[in-house]
């Protein structure tokens, strides 16, 4: 049996991109709070610009491209799913509610029976 282990080799450039993305995200938060005296518009502009730059830098790294590939494959898989019709979904929901109701009755009956056995028969604590 052949093993199909795939190792992803990340270069220094990819590690630097990830580090830069993290620095940009932290810079977005720091800039937002440090620019409070400059006004709300400047705060939000710096926050959004740094966040956008961080996301773009991340998406250009190997991990970002893998995330994009994974997202595309997941989107394709969702389209392969056979979704139930409204009638089937309603029927299954009613089955679940019915089962839960029957289980609740069974648990209530068991609880009351054990209460009767322990408190009335064994201990003699009549209410």
Please name the residue ranges forming H helices in the chain. 12-34, 40-59, 62-80, 86-115
Q: Please report the pLDDT score of residue 120 as a whole number.
A: 86
Mean pLDDT by 10 residues, the chain (127 residues): 58 90 94 90 93 94 93 95 95 98 98 92 77
pLDDT at 1: 53
The sign of the torsion formed by the CA atoms of 93, 95, 98, 100 equals negative
Q: What is the pLDDT of residue 121?
A: 84
| Beta-carbon contacts of residue 63 (< 8 Å; ≥ 6 apart) | 10, 14, 18
Q: Are 61 and 21 in contact (CB under 8 A)?
A: yes
């Amino acid at each position: 049996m052949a093993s199909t282990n795939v190792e992803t080799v990340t270069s220094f450039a990819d590690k630097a991109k990830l580090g830069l993305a993290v620095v940009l995200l932290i810079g977005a938060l720091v800039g937002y709070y440090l620019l409070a005296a400059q006004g709300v518009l400047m705060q939000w502009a710096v926050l959004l610009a740094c966040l956008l730059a961080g996301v773009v830098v991340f998406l250009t790294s190997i991990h970002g491209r893998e995330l994009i590939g994974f997202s595309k494959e997941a989107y394709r898989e969702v389209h392969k799913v056979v979704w139930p019709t409204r009638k089937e979904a309603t029927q299954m929901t009613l089955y679940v509610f019915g089962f839960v109701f029957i289980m609740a009755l069974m648990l209530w009956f068991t609880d009351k029976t054990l209460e009767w056995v322990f408190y009335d028969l064994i201990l003699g604590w009549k209410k």
